[in-house]
């Protein structure tokens, strides 16, 4: 078996990579186990030194690394550069803050001394997606390694070149051999890694069905899992809003990475008093979006990452239209090579349609009309997902109240589009998964949070 790197702009094979054999997987796990016993005892200051060098390497090679991303999964080149830069920022963040995050917490009890210590667990498996092929890996690997764990990364099968490039960066940054290891395998070999007794935890970013299966496998071995899964993020637009500013943020939130993001805006829930005005401005802006070669800077959306993803998205759009949704722009499969799909808007979407309940993993927006704020919140929460959400209003206190207490999601933004940030915990609820990545909270997912009592 081999893995293919395919250029989604033209469907041509860039390169092929041999899948490693089962005995090689066992050897990698054994190497990780031996390395962990050494790495966990390395002083934190020494563990952090290669993190800084990794940041420097990312910035110094940004253009080259961005080209690999755009070639392999079609991300517009400026966004690919931004992704690499964001990985460098994350490295800087943990380099500067890990010492404070991991210091022991003294607890006042009747003991002579009592405190909480944060200890690593061992080799951790990361199962990573293709849509942010650098960022997703770094946000898992960096805090996990800083704690003293070692990682094995199974990247998505359609981005092997990204996977190899990341491993090379860790080597060049000066990490000891086997602290970070890449496994080029297809999905059918993942369960053998999860079931290995020497693997102490699993982190997955991916679809909800895959998350459920990985959770089942890990649970059968009582292993900790962090799951960041799908989303059908609602954006509520209230009638008191500055409509033009809301439209700008909503279009950006929908089309980042050609709409192929778990936290992309997907359902726009608009009060009826401003529905027509918002709809017109939103459709006008979506209709102006430039689609094409991701290496041309003016193009705002590139191809979708795989042919089957485009086909699945078009089926969802077609079914929704057949059930009564209005096609306001886009919605037609373009002729020519590559896996392109235009910026598309569906109007008057109802909860009977696939566009409402299913995740639309591409540049398709759904407009939903509601009577008032209360109905907007009900519609927003009427989903199995709970990853991101946003609310747009000129009443900041109202927006804060709705975001904090009423919206059912792990990340709630007011007057801006949802995005991840190293300084804030990231993750979802319901079928969007559990556990958190990033910030101080993300460091503790693969820790033994150990209580120490001294009489």
Helix 44-60 to helix 135-147 angle (10° resolution) is 160
End-to-end CA gap in the chain:
59
Q: Considering the candidates 91, 162, 250, 262, report the single residue annotated as catalytic.
A: 262
CB 185 within 8 A of CB 25: yes
* CA neighbor of 268 nearest in space, from 282, 257, 286, 284: 282
- Residue 369, beta-bridge partner list: 270
Residues 6+ away with beta carbon under 8 Å from 352: 323
Residues 6+ away with beta carbon under 8 Å from 69: 75, 80, 83, 84, 133, 134, 162
CB 339 within 8 A of CB 11: yes
CB 182 within 8 A of CB 153: yes
437 is catalytic: no
User: In angstroms, rounded to a whole number, what is the distance separating the alpha carbons of residues 412 and 424?
Assistant: 12
Q: Considering the candidates 72, 83, 167, 228, report the single residue annotated as catalytic.
A: 228
- Residue 124, beta-bridge partner list: 151, 201
Rg over alpha carbons for the chain, rounded to the nearest Å, is 23
User: In angstroms, rounded to a whole number, what is the distance separating the alpha carbons of residues 21 and 4?
Assistant: 17
Helix 62-73 to helix 44-60 angle (10° resolution) is 70
CA count, 13 A, side-chain hemisphere, 108: 0
CB 34 within 8 A of CB 48: no
Pure H helices in 173-259: 190-194, 208-219, 243-255
262 is catalytic: yes
Catalytic residue positions, numbered? 228, 262
């Amino acid at each position: 078996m081999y893995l293919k790197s395919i250029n989604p702009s033209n469907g041509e094979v860039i390169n092929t990579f041999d899948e490693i054999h089962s005995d090689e997987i066992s050897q990698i796990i054994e190497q990780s186990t031996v390395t962990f016993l050494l790495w966990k005892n390395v002083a934190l200051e020494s563990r952090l030194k290669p993190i800084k060098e990794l940041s420097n390497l990312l910035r110094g090679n940004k253009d080259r690394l961005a080209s690999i991303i755009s070639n392999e999964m079609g991300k517009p080149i400026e966004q690919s550069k931004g992704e690499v830069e964001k990985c460098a920022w994350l490295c800087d963040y943990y380099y500067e803050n890990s010492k404070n995050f991991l210091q022991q917490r003294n607890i006042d009890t009747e003991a002579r001394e009592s405190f909480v210590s944060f200890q690593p667990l061992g080799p951790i498996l990361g199962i990573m997606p293709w849509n942010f092929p650098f960022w997703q890996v770094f946000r898992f690997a960096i805090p996990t390694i800083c704690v003293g764990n070692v990682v094995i990364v199974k990247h998505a099968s359609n981005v092997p070149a990204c996977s190899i490039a990341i491993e090379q960066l860790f080597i060049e940054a000066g990490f000891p051999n086997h602290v970070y290891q890449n496994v080029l395998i297809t999905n059918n070999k993942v369960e053998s890694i999860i079931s290995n007794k020497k693997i102490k935890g699993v982190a997955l970013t991916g679809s909800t069905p895959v998350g459920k299966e990985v959770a089942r496998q890990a649970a059968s071995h009582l292993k900790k899992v962090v799951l960041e899964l799908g989303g059908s993020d609602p954006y509520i637009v209230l009638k008191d809003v500055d409509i033009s500013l809301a439209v700008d943020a909503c279009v950006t939130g929908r089309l980042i990475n050609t709409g192929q993001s778990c936290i992309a805006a997907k359902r726009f829930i608009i009060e009826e008093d401003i529905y027509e005005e918002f709809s017109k401005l939103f459709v006008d802006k979506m209709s102006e979006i430039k689609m094409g070669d991701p290496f041309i800077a003016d193009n705002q959306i590139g191809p979708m990452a795989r042919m089957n993803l485009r086909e699945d998205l078009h089926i969802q759009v077609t079914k929704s239209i057949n059930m009564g949704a209005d096609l306001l722009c886009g919605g037609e499969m373009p002729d020519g090579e590559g896996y392109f799909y235009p910026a598309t808007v569906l109007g008057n979407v109802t909860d009977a349609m696939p566009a409402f309940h299913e995740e639309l993993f591409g540049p398709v927006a759904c407009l939903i009309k509601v009577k008032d704020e209360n109905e907007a919140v009900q519609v927003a929460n009427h989903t199995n997902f709970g990853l991101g959400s946003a609310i747009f209003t000129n009443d900041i206190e109202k927006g804060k109240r709705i975001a904090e207490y009423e919206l059912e999601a792990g990340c709630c933004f007011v007057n801006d589009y949802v995005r991840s940030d190293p300084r804030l915990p990231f993750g979802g609820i319901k079928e969007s998964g559990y556990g958190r990545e990033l910030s101080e909270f993300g460091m503790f997912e693969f820790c033994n949070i150990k209580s120490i009592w001294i009489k």
